[in-house]
Amino acid sequence: MEKNKRVLLGMSGGVDSSVSSLLLKEKGYEVIGTTLELYRGSSCCNSNTYLDAKNVCNQIGIDHITFDCKEAFKKYIIQDFIDCYSRCKTPNPCIECNKFMKFGFMYEKAKEMDCYYISTGHYAKTEFSEKYNRWVLKKSNNIKKDQSYVLWNIPKDLIEHIIFPLGDFTDKEEIRKIARENNLKVANKPDSEDICFIPDGDYSKFLENNSSLKPKSGNIVNRKGEVLGKHNGLYNYTIGQRKGLGISHQTPLFVLGFDVGKNEVIVGEEDELYTDEFEVEDVNLLLFDKIEEPLEVQVKTRYSTKQAKATIIESGENKIKVKLQEPRKSYNSWAISSFLYRWRYCSSEEEKFCKKA
């Protein structure tokens, strides 16, 4: 495909994607805004979303189109959400949505429309690395808002086709200022932080109304098997959880894991959460194709925690074993669709090379 300056921009009706459209147009790109219809009534798929996005496009003079993606969203994102909870794993649907919708479906539509690029309002960066002789995914300059952690599963051959216009900004207020200066009505629109298809935040209700998961009482036990209380369904708990256990104990208790066969939630004290070794599955290597020997890296066990030193080695097909220098709290060990464990190659360029656990 011949390189051109046509770009398909995903627009949610929020200030980030709206300002992205302005910035792209100022840089000479031929911008086409698009809003994906994902789930009727969700926080990112309603009449206000479409109207705000369309109004911005009309105001700055670019085309706006919508695509009906509700069936694909149900198949790849909502079903994965349900499947993970049914296996006592806590999903991150935003990651799956990025993979299948924003950087899957949207890129296929971009090619059909002769667009060389796709773009979103994510806080992240892409650039060509001479060191690795390939396009790489990097952290945003706005570390507090950095969203590269939810982009780990972008195919490496797609990175050169992605533009993140907000990657060089260091403060969200800069984005709102640009919107105000250009009289965009979305300038002060609040950020959406909830899962879009569960705007009220009631996961249990959603699961019970949309799947075969129903409340099933069982025991809450410690590692010795001693019964400490009762639970109302394994899907209502996640590893690392402290609140909502309904147990009176002399020290705070945390969810350590599950015994699905016995329908039990296993709890323990905080120090029992710590681990210094675990295995990572479903790895996406972005800087190179294979880890040839033990590699010193910096890891994060949650997106908001500090980096920690570790050594990684390949432990099987598409698997990596991580050995931390110092123990860290373990969280949900779901490994299939999580953002809780991320691995970043320790380099001066802060380039991402793999994620997942």
pLDDT digits (tens, 9 = 90+) for 72-94: 999 999 999 999 999 998 888 99
Predicted TM-score (pTM) above 0.75? yes
Contact between 298 and 342 (Cβ < 8 Å): no
Same domain as 174, residue 31: yes
Residue 304 is given by DSSP the state T
Average per-residue pLDDT for the chain: 87
Could you say which of 127, 155, 181 is where a domain stops?
181
Structural domains counted in the chain: 3
H/E stretch holding 89 reads none
Same domain as 308, residue 242: no
Could you say which of 249, 268, 287 is where a domain stops?
268
Q: Which pLDDT belongs to residue 45?
A: 62
Same domain as 278, residue 258: no
Give the HSE-up count for residue 169: Cα atoms under 13 Å, Cβ half-sphere.
20
Expressed as residue numbers, the domain containing 309 is 273-355
Q: Which pLDDT belongs to residue 343?
A: 34
Q: Which pLDDT belongs to residue 331?
A: 60
Q: What is the rounded average pLDDT of the residues 4-10?
A: 95
CA-wise closest residue to 299 among 273, 327, 319, 271: 327
Q: How far apart are CA 7 and CA 2, in angstroms?
A: 13
Q: Which pLDDT belongs to residue 329?
A: 82
Q: What is the rounded average pLDDT of the residues 300-325?
A: 87
Q: Which pLDDT belongs to residue 203?
A: 93
Same domain as 307, residue 258: no
Q: How confident is the model at residue 219 (pLDDT cuts 50, 70, 90)?
A: very high
Under 8 Å CB-to-CB from 199, ≥6 apart: which residues?
41, 42, 43
Confirm whether 187 is domain-assigned: no
Q: Which pLDDT belongs to residue 169?
A: 95
- Predicted confidence (pLDDT) per residue in 167-214, tens digit: 999 999 999 999 999 999 999 998 877 788 998 889 999 999 999 999
Residues designated as active site: 97, 196
Residue 71 is given by DSSP the state H
Q: Which pLDDT belongs to residue 346?
A: 30
Instruction: Residue 289: count other Cβ atoms within 10 Å of its Cβ.
Output: 9
Confirm whether 205 is domain-assigned: no
Same domain as 21, residue 154: yes
